[in-house]
Amino acid sequence: MEDKEYQKKELKDIFSAASLAPVFKSNPKHCIGKFADLIPYISYGDVMNYKFIIRGRPIGDEINTFDDKEREIIAEYDSLESLVNDGWRLD
């Protein structure tokens, strides 16, 4: 399975099961400047509401797989496909 297809499948599974707040690898397009030292993720609240918003969690914050804090937005998308096509990959 191609990487983009794999990413979309995994994210669809996460969203449909509302199983966790997914964490992403750093995206060189977006994780620069003020976002360079943040861990990109989608908050659990956004997963529950089918919102495709990448937020930044400070490194060193407690890891919580159901993190629902509405932290600063790094990027926002209208679909999972747009998110994956922009280079985001699950960690």
pLDDT in tens, 8-66: 999 999 999 998 999 999 999 999 999 999 999 999 999 999 999 999 999 888 777 77
- pTM of this structure: 0.91
Using CB atoms within 10 Å of the CB of residue 56, give its burial: 0 to 12 exposed, 13 to 18 middle, 19+ buried: buried
- Is 76 part of any domain? yes
Residue matched to tokens 């932290």: 71
What is the number of domains present in the chain? 1
Q: Domain limits at 36?
A: 3-85
30/72 Cα distance (integer angstroms): 13
- Is 90 part of any domain? no
Mean pLDDT for the stretch of residues 66-82: 91
Identity of the residue numbered 21? A
Strand partners, 46: none
Residue matched to tokens 């496909």: 81
- Is 91 part of any domain? no
Q: Quick one: which H or E segment has residue 15? A: helix 3-17
